[in-house]
Structures are given as C-alpha cells and as structure tokens.
A and B are shown apart, each in its own frame.
Chain A
Amino acid sequence: MDAILLQILNGLDKGSAYALIALGLTLIFGTLGVVNFAHGALFMIGAFCAVTLSKILTISKEVVDPTKTDFLGNPLKVKVPYIESWFGESFGGAIIDWSVPLAILFAIPIMLFVGYAMERGLIKHFYKRPHADQILVTFGLAIVLQEVVKYFYGANPIPTPAPEAFKGSFDFGAMLGFEANAIIYPYWRMVYFLFAGVIIAGVFAFLQFTTFGMVVRAGMADRETVGLLGINIDRRFTIMFGLAAAVAGLAGVMYTPINSPNYHMGMDFLVLSFVVVVVGGMGSLPGAVAAGFLLGILEAFASMNWIKDIIPGIDQIIIYLVAIVILLTRPRGLMGRKGVMED
C-alpha cells in the first residue's frame, strides 16, 4: 500500500509538468489549429529564464583573498555578488536563495513576448498549410532555439536549487501511520504540484469567467461565426498563443530545482506531452490535464521493481502502450470533441 501511495505521489509532479505543457499545446491547437512542436522549447526557455535570473542576481565583483590561493598558486579572487554588498549578506543572500520563485515574475513578460514573436514572426504564415508543414517548421524552430541556448549556456546541466526553506522531504508515511521513511516526498515537488494546480485553475477560470475567455471559447467552437460577428478573433488567438507560451515557461521555471536544466530538456518532454494531448483528446483542455496526471502516475507505477521484473522495460513504453489502447478503444481520446482531427 505504501509503495502504491509513494508512486502516486511521484507521478503527480511529473504529471503536473505533462499537464502544463499539454495544456499549452491544446490551447494553441484548439485556437489556432497549429501543431506546435516548439512547445517543449518554450518549457526549456522558461527554465533558462530561471537560470538567467539566477546568473543576474549573482553577478559578482572580485575581491582578492590573500590568505588563499587559486589553482595556479596566485592569490584567490573571491566572487562577492553585488546584491549581497548592496543589501547586506542576509537580505541579499535571501534574494539569491529565492531566485527560482522570483523568476516567475521575470519569466512572465519574457514568455509572453517570446510567444507573441513566435506566432507573429513565423507560425502565422503556416496557418493554412498542412499539419505536416507546421510540424516540420516548429520542430526546426525547436532545434534552433535549443542550439541558441546551448551556445550561450553550454551543454551541461546548470544547477538551479530551490530556496533553502523548501529543501528536504516530508514524511507522509509517518503522518498516515506507516513506518518512518516509508513514504517520503520532497517539499519542492509538493510546491510544484500545487503551483501546477493554481496555474491550471487560473487558465480554466480565465476562459470560463472572463469575456475574453468566452470569446476565445466561442472562437474555438466556430471561428468563422465569431469573425462574422465583427470580433477580431485572430488577435485574441495571438494573445492565447502568448498565454500558452507563458504557461509552458512557468512550468519550466518551477521545474528547474527538480532537474538541473539543460538545452534539450524541452525535447525530453515534447513527445510525451503530445502523447498526453492525443490521449486526452485533441482540443480538449480538461482531457489534456487529466491525461497528463494519469500518464505521469502510470509512468511512476511502471518503474516499480516488481512490475519491471514481470515485464522488463515496461517503464520506457508504458505511456505509448496506454496511448495505443486508448486510441484503439476510444479514437477521440479520453475527452476529445467530435469532429476535431477526424476529417
């Protein structure tokens, strides 16, 4: 029982990342009809917003420490962040320590702009082209973006830790009456799950309870009629692209303490996120979220030792197996709308 609870918890944080990326993918597909293979790159750019803010906050002046030597035997140059010398070691240090949560504020305008620029600069030219063309151009864009990031940040993962207050793990097992250490779960992963919940709720509330969201939903259902009513639906869809980019970016920002970001982290999530979208049902926002969590948890279960002993390698293929089963039995996906991608 404790092992099952443990893997459900493990699946939640990965499922959160899948759900957030798939949510953005579905928003773009549902509004603009574009299959965006560069969406993983947006997740990666979000993560590198956190890296960039961390680097900005730790820009340092060099102070020579004559008591120590560097690797060549010269007096050691110690780096002291400007922010610590301006605001004092404790407050300045706290700002640096909280660089990942602070990066949310840093990333939102950047991601909105990146999304806007991507849509206006490139993707809008492919609206009327076949999906294969859209996939090729966005996949190419993803490769370009990751190579640009690699050029500036290198190929190695860059450690971007969570604030000190969120280090360590919580013993769920002890709380539920199991043995100590039976079910432990890192604090930051809990934060990630809650954060994902807030973002997902925010997007749904935005679409459900605002006039803007109502128009977008109407446009998703029947773009032509909304256009005939004199509403500039294209402009709203462009904003939705920016919003989807921001969702992916924020998912990336908060993911950095879980796994040190590197330039190809977007690709690692991209294919799985597409499977999530297809399983959830193309164009269905609740479907994308539900499938994200479902597949995240199933993936965690498949990596349990006794399951791997029965079916070796199941952890690597479980998501695809589930996708095949669901598409065979329910071709529209879990919550797919009738008529979407069916012609």
Chain B
Amino acid sequence: MSNSNMTRRGMLKTGAVAGAGVALPTIFTASSAAAYTNEPTGSTVTLGFNVPQTGPYADEGADELLAQKLAVEHLNGEGDGGCLNTFSSKALKGNGILGKKVEFVTGDTQTKSDAARASAKSMIEKDGAVMINGGSSSGVAVAVQGLCQEAGVIFMAGLTHANDTTGKDKKANGFRHFFNAYMSGAALAPVLAAEMGKDRRAYHLTADYNWGWTQEESIVASTEAMGWETVNTVRTPLAATDFSSYIAPVLNSGADVLVLNHYGGNMVNSLTNAIQFDLLAKVANGKDFKIVVPLYSELMATGAGENIKGVLGSMNWNWQLTDDGTKAFVKSFGEKYGKPPSNSAQTCYAQTLLYADACERAGTFNPCGVVEALEGFEFDGLGNGPTLYRAEDHQCFKDVLVVRGNMNPTSPYDTLEIVEKTPVEQVTYAPDHPMFAGGALGSCNPGA
C-alpha cells in the first residue's frame, strides 16, 4: 500500500518553488554585474519624470513636464540651449550626458504618496531610470525620496516646501533645489515688519498636514521674533472647500493679520472666502487688516484671480527676474510654449540640468559619484543667483523672493510682482536647527 500524499497540484507547486530557487541566484548574478542600479550600457540614458498628471495639481504637473522636456532638449543639443549658455558650470556640452543621448519616461504621482511611489518604482525597475525628478507635494517628495534611497537612484525633488524633506526625512540620495518653509518665514518677516509694523497680532489658518504644520511653525517663529503676537493657530481639514466658518471668527478674535498656511485649492478657496468677508477693507486694533499667504505659486495666483491683489507671500523663483539665467530660461520656455514658466517648472528644469552636470563632473552615473559632485556644489546662471547645494542636508541655499499680488496686472502672467529679493544670508540656518532636527542623511546607496 502506498502512503504517498503527493498530488499532481502539489508536484506542480513544488516544481515551481524549486524552479524559482534555481533561477534566483541567476537574477542576483545578473544584477550584481552592474556597479549600480540601472547603469546605462547602451548609447542612451533614461531619466524618470514623476509629476502629477491627474488630480488637483495636474496643471502644475503639466508645467513641470514641459520644463523637463525642455531640459532634455537642451541636454541633447536641441533648441537654443537655454540655461546651458548661462550656467556657471561648463561641463554640459549639449551632447547628452556623458555622451549618451538623454531619453525620459514619465509617471503620474496623482499627488498621492502610494501612487507616486508606484510610478517611480515602475520607472526605476521597468524603464531603467537613473534619476527621478518632479512632484508638487511634500508628502510625495518624502515618499519618493525614501524609495529612491532604497532603490539606489538619485531623487531630484520638484516642488516641496516642508522643512522635513531636507530635515528629519532627508536622505543621501535626495536633493532639493526648492526653498522651504523656514526660508519663507525668514524672508517674509522683515518685509512684513517693514510694511505692517512690529506691533501686529496674527491669526493662522493652517492646512492640517505635515507641510501646513511646518510652515505654521516657521512663520510663527519668525514673526514672533520680530515682535508680532500669535492670537490663534487653527487647523483646517485638507479636504475643506468652504473656509467661511473658520474665517468668520477672525475679525472678532483681536487679530489684525490673517496668515493662510494653505496651498493649492485650499489657498484659492480660503483667500477667496477671506476676500468675500471683506477682511482687507476692515480696520482692527486701529490698523488696516492684512492677509499673508506665505507660499505662492503662479498657478494658484491665477486661480485666486483678483483676490490676491496686494497680498504678500514668498516664492522660489519668478519669471520676472532679470538675471541672465532667468532670461535664457524664460525665452526658451516662452518661445516654445507661448507662456512664461511657473516656479515649479523652473525648479524641475534646474534640477534636471544640475543632475546632468553632476554626472558630467563626476564622470559617472553612479549615485555615489553624483552625490559627491552635488554636495557643496556652488553654481550660478540657472535663475536663482549664486546658489549652494549644502552637503550636510542636500538643501539649496539661494535668495528667496517676497512677492505681492499685482494691483494692476497687464496680462494673466504678471499677477504677482516681486517686492524683494531676500539675500541668501538671511534665510540660511544651521544644519542642526531645531526645525530640521531628527533623521540622518545616511550614506549614498548605489543600489545594484
């Protein structure tokens, strides 16, 4: 009598497991032949552009993608060369990167961390991307940065403003060109003091998530340091669309300034609601009531329409700057697409060129070589003036713009006017500043 329990299905399963076991060492052997993840072996190199193509920030993502495509053109020697002509580093020759033609793939972050990670993962694993760039949310940036660190590719962040991206969540493989919430506070505070006085009482409405909290913390700290008092800080749900019930009590609170720590649709709606309540026409504590929007974007300014007139805020860059880098980029972008670029487009363009330049200077696509080339790198000619990529946290340090809603715009594009270019010294902080404490950069991961 046979006691064998082996069935046909069991045999198949065993065979499959055994087959996978036999194949596994081959997979490792194959990948370990490369020195680092996705080492380009042919005549091309692939970059991954991970931007919101659907969802609420789709227009912002579309603008980023236009700039990224323009950067690829310039890197490959097509078009007018844009900022390659003004960039202080002359390593890029318009013949691709390290002689390899630049190709790109795109992913859709949907402004959701899990979707952004999935699209970045797909571009790294299926398309062989050596670098991921783009995005318009700090949540997405932190999530994708973590993924790139694990996968062994470089992450050149797009629009991400939370302190944490280069604070507690910083990673060796991640780099941020965009400014952050601390810098917004440091740049805005002196202008606010000069325009509104040092005896002001501020009421904060803050989007209830990581970015909102860090921005509120930064603006409260910088305004209180110059003498302002914070009357109240109220958290508003990210999903809120009507802010009237949060704005209505402001005038009765003893405050004379409303700070809107909101971005995107939240900002458009809260500012629109504040204007409906006629706050800017009111007098509180014997002073004209004021509104501040610490983080501006051109696309949001367009959404808010006339409501932004006279309202102060800060930006990473604006097309109205007059330096050579800005002029070259605006001309190139404007002639190709018929409109000036947004500051999220500019940061993605600059990041793509900075990555390519770092590869050229390092002589390799190896992430560790790129990290070394970018750390402590000082450059100019990309539109933000002299800039440092600080080695300690991979944050760019450069001038910050304080802007105001234009009272008399002449076109849909000059809805904001530059009030001041705050010098970099004023927005620089120590790497161990409490707002950036926690987490460690770690060491670069080449993957493979």
Contact = CB atoms under 8 A, between A and B. Distances in A.
Interface of A: 2-3, 6-7, 9-11, 13-14, 68, 70-72, 76, 78, 150, 154-159, 161, 167-169, 179, 181-182, 184-186, 188-189, 257-260, 262, 264-265, 268, 299-300, 303-305, 308, 315-316
Given A10-B244, A262-B56, 19 more contacts: A6-B248, A6-B249, A6-B252, A7-B245, A13-B244, A70-B411, A71-B319, A71-B411, A76-B410, A154-B59, A155-B54, A155-B57, A157-B265, A157-B303, A159-B305, A168-B281, A260-B268, A260-B303, A299-B245
Contact of A155 (B58, B273, B304, B340): B58
Contacts of B57: 155
A259 B331 CA distance: 35
Contacts of A188: 276
B306 A184 contact: no
B10 to A, nearest CB: 39
A10 B248 CA distance: 8
Contacts of A2: 252
Interface string B241-272: 11011101101100000000000010011001
A257 B269 CA distance: 10
Contacts of B245: 7, 10-11, 299-300, 303-304, 315
Nearest to B341: A71
B366 to A, nearest CB: 38
B272 A260 contact: yes
A188 B248 CA distance: 15
A1 to B, nearest CB: 12
B276 A169 contact: yes
A76 to B, nearest CB: 6
Interface of B: 54-59, 232, 234-235, 237, 239, 241-242, 244-246, 248-249, 251-252, 265, 268-269, 272-273, 276-278, 281-282, 284, 299-300, 302-307, 319-320, 330-331, 334-335, 339-340, 410-411, 413-414
Contacts, number: 128
11 contacts: A3-B252, A14-B242, A71-B413, A71-B414, A161-B305, A167-B276, A184-B251, A186-B276, A186-B277, A186-B278, A300-B245
Contacts of B272: 159, 258-260
A200 B177 CA distance: 54
Contacts of B248: 6-7, 9-10, 184-185
A265 B241 contact: yes
A78 B340 CA distance: 16
Contacts of A181: 251-252, 282, 284
Contact of B265 (A10, A150, A262, A303): A262
B334 A161 contact: no
Contacts of A179: 252
A2 B248 CA distance: 11
Nearest to A168: B278
A169 B281 CA distance: 10
Given A155-B57, A184-B278, A305-B232, A260 B304 contact: yes
A315 B237 contact: yes
Nearest to A188: B276
Nearest to A71: B340
A173 to B, nearest CB: 8
Contact of B331 (A7, A72, A158, A315): A72
A156 B57 CA distance: 7
Contacts of A257: 276
A229 B410 CA distance: 66
B410 A71 contact: no
A303 B241 CA distance: 13
Contacts of A76: 410-411
Contacts of B277: 169, 184, 186
A96 to B, nearest CB: 13
A3 B56 contact: no
B59 A159 contact: no
A14 B244 CA distance: 9
A115 to B, nearest CB: 24
Contacts of A156: 59, 268, 299-300, 302-303
B56 A68 contact: no
Pick from A2, A76, A169, A316 the residue with the most CB of B within 10 Å.
A169
B276 A268 contact: no
A71 B330 CA distance: 8
Contact of A264 (B56, B232, B234): B56
Contacts of B305: 159, 161, 260
